[in-house]
Structures are given as C-alpha cells and as structure tokens.
Amino acid sequence: MKLLNFLLSALHPEDLAALSPGLTEVVLAVGEVLFEPGQQPDAIYFPGGACISIVTILADGRSVESTTVGRESAAGLMEAITHRPATARAFAQIGGGALRLPAGLFRARMLQSPTLAELTLLHVRANSVQAEQGVACNAAHDVPARLSRWLLMTQDRVGAKTFPLTQDYMAVMTGVQRSTVSLAASALKRRGVIDYSRGSVTVLDRAGLERQACECYGIIGGQFEDLRRVAEA
C-alpha cells in the first residue's frame, strides 16, 4: 500500500503497524459527502489524490468553506480524537484516492501512543491555523487575492497543475456570488496565470499566481511545508 498522505508517511513504524490493518483504499467521487453537521463520523479520511472541503452550512442554506484537506493531513481528525459530532460538512471537492480508517481504531491507538498523539496534535494545529487565517482573509482581503490563495492551496493539496474546479465551487471557496468570482477568475486568466474551461483549472504561472495572492497564502503554505518536512524526516 503506497502512502501518499503526509500524516500516514510520518507515522512511527509501530503506529503504522498498529493502524495498517484498518486502512482501506477508497476512491472518492466529486461531491461525495463524508459527514454532515451533527453526525458522528465513523471514519478518518487520508487523501492521496482527493481534496476534501470542510464547509459551514448557514441557516439560509448557503455554505462557506473554512478549510480544505488534501494529502497533507486528514479529514475527521478532531471528531475522531474527541468522539464528538461534526459541526461542518465534509465532502470531496476534488475526487480521487484516499485511505479510510475507522475512527475508533485511531482513537484507541492514540491513547496508547505518545508519538501518535504528538503527530495528531501537530496536524490539528495546522488545520486550525488554516481555518483561523481564512476567517481573517475573508474579512480583510479582496476576492482576486482570496481566489489566488485558494487556487494555490488546492494545487498544493492535489499535487498537480491541472485540477477540476467549477466556478460554482470557486464561489463557495471565496464566500462570494458566482458572478463576482467569475470576474476575478477572468482577470487571472487575462494575466496569464491560470486557464480554466469546462470545470477545469490549470495553473500556468505559479510564481505569478503567488504574486496575486494575499499574505495569508504564505502563512497557510508554511503550515503545509511544515507537515511535508515532518513526513520526509
């Protein structure tokens, strides 16, 4: 079983041996819901090629993305270690491979293993930093900068220049109307930093897209790189 996920790759050999029997390879379809607010997730998902979106559902039905999870971490970690219901919806923003692990198995091993507990808290902290920075970003920065940040984050998490992403979902990512995000995406396309058509985005000029992004990408990207270094150590 090839481990493409940073968290799994960083496991101590004894932790990996204890958890491996419970890991199941799955392919997540675009839009597949993993858990809903109020539900107790029964599994943790460790993406390899998939990208999972965590969104808050408002009373009027609108959804706003708070964080994304790709190959750097796992979805359902907080719910697994606290054994508490989810407060947000998790679904596959981008379809692809992932490894699924029963939440109870992970929780039981973490209670026995200080090394797994330490690694888990590192990932929970990184996901928390991303969410906190996202709140500040949505309040302080304009749509083109926010969209650039989200596109860079998505590319980091799927590890490819081209990935499926509709304008409807770009609107969820940035918390604005579809018409507003369409103008921002068109401006990025005219500058030659991205191309998009038929629900697919290609990053043509990574450095140029980074220049369009706000400072928040550097902060969140730093968390991503920290997790990568831990996985490669």
CATH of the domain at 20: 2.60.120.10
Residues 121 and 184 placed together within one structural domain of the fold: no
The reply to whether 219 falls in a domain is no
Q: Are residues 109 and 20 in the same domain?
A: yes
Same domain, 94 and 53: yes
Q: What is the pTM of this model?
A: 0.91
pLDDT digits (tens, 9 = 90+) for 23-61: 999 999 999 999 999 999 999 999 999 999 999 888 888
Tally of domains within the chain: 2
Decide if pLDDT at 173 tops 90.
no
Distances (CA, A) of 125 to 43, 87, 218, 220: 20, 17, 16, 11
H/E element holding 176?
A: none
User: CA 183, CA 104: separation in Å to the nearest integer?
Assistant: 45
60 in a structural domain: yes
Q: Judge if 98 and 162 occupy the same domain.
A: no
Quick one: 29 and 123 in the same domain? yes
In a domain, 159, yes or no: yes
Cα–Cα distance, 167 to 151 (Å, whole number) = 12
Q: What is the domain range of residue 192?
A: 142-213
Position 221: which residue type? G
